[in-house]
Structure 1
Amino acid sequence: MLFSGLGFNVDDKLKKQLNTNKDMIDILINLGNNEVIIVECKTSKEKGYNKFSTVSRQLKSYQKLALHNDLRIVKILLIAPEFSDDFVTDCEMDTEMNLSLITASTMLKIYDSFKQSKYPSFPYVLFRDIVINEERILKALTK
């Protein structure tokens, strides 16, 4: 709902085509021209999201799935309640994925700010940091 509200094309049809019994992408945003954003959501109830190696294997499987289907991955977003310092450090060291981390509360604030902005769709290039900088994005949306 949030990503649709940001003006993104949440493509459930393409997601179903890509998903396998083993690899199931949470959210797939179709940007057109065979470009996608992969979104993985974690909850505080899930154990293991605090271990980057576990999540990394999962996301790399999704990446492989998309690339195998001739899709260009513009960004992989991981949404969770919070991230440990170790998790962030491990993420920063990963050179195989274009991964950004965003907390659920930051995502909600971005959504709320976007609704007040002049943009018809969210400028996804703002998702460029490893850990999404809430203040920078909110400031950019008010310009």
Structure 2
Amino acid sequence: MPYIDKTYYDETYGGVPIADVDAFSRLSKKASDIIDQITNYSLTGVEFTQLAQFLQDQVKKATSAQVEYMVSMGGDTATHGGGYASVGVGNFSYSEGDSTSKLNREQQRTSPAVIEYLKPTGLLYRGVNTHDSSYSC
């Protein structure tokens, strides 16, 4: 289930216009999947509306930023990390020479703003939770 709807994206976040509702629906689902992957699926199985308002807001902003990023990077194809910056066939070669050529596939597929929105939430933490009462030695 997407973390945002078109109304939130357009009116609250103020993202770049996406006229096609079906395209927005596809992109918001893919962006939400990327957020789940980045957060190691820590939001799955949790009632989103029961989370602290700050967490909800940051996840919605991150999802919106990812949708906007995917639109700017070419839409649906952006979920796979962009294309090639350099291609060669025989004696022919072509290089785009853009700044994304120095980024790895993961960096190309995710907006830097997504990480910044999620940093203060704790959802990016990969360590061991030492406060889990269900764990016993």
One fold, TM greater than 0.5?
no
TM-score bracket relative to the smaller structure? under 0.3
With a CA cutoff of 8 Å and minimum separation of 6, indicate the structure with the bigger relative contact order. 2
Q: TM-score, normalised by structure 2?
A: 0.26
Q: TM-score, normalised by structure 1?
A: 0.25
Higher-strand-fraction structure: 1
Higher-helix-fraction structure: 2
